[in-house]
Amino acid sequence: MPDNQLDLLGNLQRSHMCGVLRAKDAGARVTLMGWVNRRRDLGNLIFIDLRDRSGLVQIVVDNEADPALHKKAENVRSEYVLAVVGSVKRRDAATENKNLPTGEIEIIAEELRVLNDAKTPPFSPSEQAIGNEELRLKYRYIDMRRPEMQSNIELRSRISLAIRKSLTDRGFLEIETPFMTRSTPEGARDYLVPSRVYPGSFYALPQSPQLFKQILMISGFDKYFQIVRCFRDEDLRADRQPEFTQIDLEMSFPTQDRVFEVVEAFLVAAFREGGIELKPPFLRMTYDEAICKYGIDKPDLRLPEMTDARKAFTEENLNALSLDPLLPVVAVRIPKVGELSRKERDDNKQLFSPKSGAKLIDDLKRLEKSFPEAVSKLRELSKAEAEDLLVLVAGGPANDRSPIAMRKAAEAVYTSAGAFRVALAQKYKEKHGAFRKAGTADDYRFLWVTDFPMFEYDDKEGRWNAAHHPFTSPHEEDFGKLLSDPGAVRSLAYDVVLNGTELGSGSIRIHRQDIQQLIFHALGMSVEEARSRFGFFLEALEYGTPPHGGIALGLDRIVMILAGAESLREVIPFPKTAKAVDLMVDAPTPVSPAQLKELGISVKT
RNA sequence: GGGGACGUAGUUCAGUUGGUUAGAACGCUGCCCUGUCACGGCAGAGGCCGCGGGUUCGAGUCCCGUCGUCCCCGCCA
């Protein structure tokens, strides 16, 4: 038997959403459905704030007007689900609520149906201060009733739609690729799915649809995109979830510029949904330039670039400071920090983590006593104002003076300085104010970083690794160095970067089987090994592969930035914790011995 | 894998140097209240101080371990 305290929906149909009613609707008869946000019981007069996705509206129940209805309203509690039939009344001037979009009107209830009751929730969607993450994730359905979450999820939907529209308008086809696919040992750890039919064999969930989208180019689909879930079994961060969504695209016969245009167009469309009018084209910068000026491959352009101030010093100066004259002397400038105490300088030193011999000089006053000319020149070169914080990062004398070692030492100086720059910028963000949002396009400093190195040297393994992935094309003019000087080979890989965050990464791919073999060779991969890992793909390359290239961008990060959120969890309906647990459904869980047996799996504990 | 922060009422938090009966606010329950909108007033219920062990005459407080959440490093082609 159903609970007879509750009313049935019957044929009642909703006429309006709660939050859309305005003064012009006065006199209209409406049927609303929603949740009780708050009830204010004044005795013979009861106010109910009814909430749905669109907002709140005040319902009025007057004992004098309808005692039976009033009796019913007395028993209503927070988060009950109601249907209300009533008329829209323009409020008296004295009772308007300027804080509410619907504050000029209220609903005089004529009928009230309690469609469902609710236990007192562990926290209320109407509360300003939100509870801890654990509770929010366990009771995600309640958390998502909060207006902030509703608007984040709605924003996400609108952004996805805008991107789909932008891409399909440009002739891209949205094509699905498998979730159950083949494990490739490169890159991140795979999530595995055991096969029942082939005990001991596993599918892998895709880290990205990389090879499938390249195959689609070989198939002649020309322009592909997909807003697609990707899976990586790596440790989480505030901006990393084990499953996340990429805007993945690939095109045939592209130049880098064509890819950039497409991405810029859909980012303009996406940001328009967030109320921001971007002005493409975005700035471009090579990887080398990014490292020299920002000490990182994802520069935050909201703060001034670094300066190589080596020229400010004579060789004697540098020797006296026991710095290597062949290494850069990087000036890091953070605006408007003002005078620092001794203690504060010492605290800042803790933020500096030097890589291979990089040294910090943070006391410019003391330096000035010994080298007044150099410091004056330094201030000039770095355009430092009196109240700016200025520090130097330079290289100590290097033992190994080979060109390769010196190149590495120089990069260590730049990247140590770059990391310190970011740490200081974070610490003094209140003072320099560069991270404050003005609500304009200037808040979002996009750039393209190009010409990434093709290979990175793995010291532990003693071999070269693909910096992007092994299907990335080298620069044509660097083909000759593939085997002689792999470290100097530039790739046609590119990143799109926003305010120090990598939003996406892509490349022009290798379409020729001979070049692909060469790359595998440079990576120290034997023909057999390459065949066993990527055989199907190498074979496909032999059947008329067009030049192609593409990119993938993190949708979650884009939404997070436009929502002004601090964590990806704020823009993902059902996220996982830092330990990759879903607290609502309580996953992962052990499975029954019968299930394991069927899969041919035994678990060691 | 490593480092850090946190864990006390349904929730957010306070809790002194280790010392009687562990507090506040919000929420909840009941009563009162016709213009509230974070309604107001009165009364009340509500505690495995994350868990386990240790030190002590005595532990929310000190020590060790463990679990959970968050942040960072490693990791994430």
Query: Residue A1: its pLDDT value, please?
Result: 44
From residues 173-192 of A, list those within 7 angstroms of strand B by Cβ.
186-189
Average pLDDT for chain A: 92
Question: In terms of pLDDT, which residue wins out, A396 or A202?
Answer: A202
Nearest-nucleotide field for A65 (CA, C1')? B34
Whether the CB-CB separation of A109 and A84 falls below 8 Å is answered with yes
Nearest-nucleotide field for A44 (CA, C1')? B34
Please state whether strand B lies within 7 Å of residue A208 at its CB atom.
yes
pLDDT band per the 50, 70, 90 thresholds, residue A282: very high
Summarize pLDDT for A519-540 with one digit per residue, the tens. 888 888 888 888 888 888 999 9
The pairing of beta strand A358-361 with beta strand A389-395: antiparallel
Task: Write out which nucleotides of chain B lie closer than 7 A to a protein Cβ.
Answer: 1, 10-13, 26-29, 32-40, 68-77
From residues 215-244 of A, list those within 7 angstroms of strand B by Cβ.
232, 234-240
CA–C1' gap, A131 and B16, in angstroms: 28
Length of chain A: 605
From residues 528-567 of A, list those within 7 angstroms of strand B by Cβ.
567
What strands, in cross-sheet order, belong to the sheet with A389-395? A307-308, A329-334, A389-395, A358-361
Peptide bond into A588 cis (omega under 30): yes
From residues 455-474 of A, list those within 7 angstroms of strand B by Cβ.
456, 465-470
Protein residue nearest nucleotide B31, by CA to C1':
A43
CA–C1' gap, A74 and B64, in angstroms: 55
Q: CA-CA distance, A594 to A592, in Å (whole number)? A: 5
H or E segment to which residue A162 belongs: helix A147-169
From residues 501-520 of A, list those within 7 angstroms of strand B by Cβ.
none
CA–C1' gap, A605 and B52, in angstroms: 22
Query: Residue A458: its pLDDT value, please?
Result: 73
Please state whether strand B lies within 7 Å of residue A147 at its CB atom.
no
pLDDT higher than threshold 90 for residue A23: yes
Summarize pLDDT for A473-507 with one digit per residue, the tens. 999 899 888 888 888 899 999 999 999 999 999 99
CA–C1' gap, A191 and B2, in angstroms: 24
Please state whether strand B lies within 7 Å of residue A296 at its CB atom.
no
Range with lowest mean pLDDT among A125-139, A243-257, A286-300: A125-139
Protein residue nearest nucleotide B28, by CA to C1':
A120
pLDDT band per the 50, 70, 90 thresholds, residue A3: low
Summarize pLDDT for A143-179 with one digit per residue, the tens. 999 999 999 999 999 999 999 999 999 999 999 999 9
pLDDT higher than threshold 50 for residue A391: yes
Summarize pLDDT for A538-595 with one digit per residue, the tens. 999 999 999 999 999 999 999 999 999 999 999 999 999 999 999 999 999 999 999 9
Nearest-nucleotide field for A48 (CA, C1')? B37
Q: What is the pTM of this model?
A: 0.93
Query: Residue A183: its pLDDT value, please?
Result: 85
pLDDT higher than threshold 70 for residue A88: yes
Please state whether strand B lies within 7 Å of residue A66 at its CB atom.
no
Q: CA-CA distance, A265 to A271, in Å (whole number)? A: 10
**3-state DSSP percent of chain A in helix, strand and coil, to 5:** 35, 25, 40
From residues 39-58 of A, list those within 7 angstroms of strand B by Cβ.
40-45, 47, 49, 58
- 3-class SS letters over A138-151: HCHHHHCCCHHHHH
Query: Residue A29: its pLDDT value, please?
Result: 97
Please state whether strand B lies within 7 Å of residue A131 at its CB atom.
yes
CA–C1' gap, A182 and B28, in angstroms: 54
Nearest-nucleotide field for A103 (CA, C1')? B37
Nearest-nucleotide field for A458 (CA, C1')? B77
Summarize pLDDT for A463-473 with one digit per residue, the tens. 788 888 889 99
Please state whether strand B lies within 7 Å of residue A350 at its CB atom.
no
Mean pLDDT is highest, among A108-112, A345-349, A390-394, A419-423, for A108-112
Phi then psi dihedrals of residue A171, to 5 deg: 90, 15
Judge residue A409's burial from the number of C-beta atoms within 10 Å of its C-beta, 0-12 exposed, 13-18 middle, 19 or more buried: buried
The alpha-carbon radius of gyration of chain A (Å, integer) is: 30
Protein residue nearest nucleotide B69, by CA to C1':
A134
Please state whether strand B lies within 7 Å of residue A14 at its CB atom.
no
If you average pLDDT over residues A318-330, what whole number do you get?
A: 91
CA–C1' gap, A429 and B73, in angstroms: 22
